[in-house]
Structure 1
């Protein structure tokens, strides 16, 4: 089983924003990390995975809107339609599970979003 987590972070309105997603295997090893908006992170994560693995993927995120859009429970804003159209066939032909989780459950993706919000704060 694979798990794809996503999150976004913003300080102020307007203000700096960070977005992130990551994919882990059943041993919790990180397979992939994306520095994109939440919808883009899901899109990229699904496109990154080999088609043979898609029936073993759970997509989790703390944005109920994004999860609802991918579940088809609500229509996404028009500006995101191209991201959904790109992976529509992939998602429809698989048993990918989309799940809304609490922010505390999504802490790894949230931490990455905060790091990429201010990349100059990274210490090597």
Structure 2
């Protein structure tokens, strides 16, 4: 299950349990709504309660990333799972957006709000 919404110019998402294809489509819609006007992406993604993802969601993630390879902006990923580091590294290789992992929510939000990011 995922909660995802655009709030104050930022995509805010949290995943609970297993991420499914329908969940990922909701996340895609929120990202596309946020960048529709040409603004850079600003996203906060909380994966601390995620228990994995379905194969079709992983495939859609790859396709979405390839379709949006020129996407600029910042994505803060909140996680306590070392395997998310591998996924973030792969995503960073596929898109222009700056993706950073955090284990502290306040640090993640501070980075997203900073002018230096």
> Normalising by the residue count of structure 1, what TM-score does the alignment of the two structures yield?
0.37
Q: Which has the higher contact order (CA 8 A, sep 6+)?
A: 1
| Structure with the bigger percentage of helix | 1
| Structure with the bigger percentage of strand | 2
Structure number, greater radius of gyration: 1
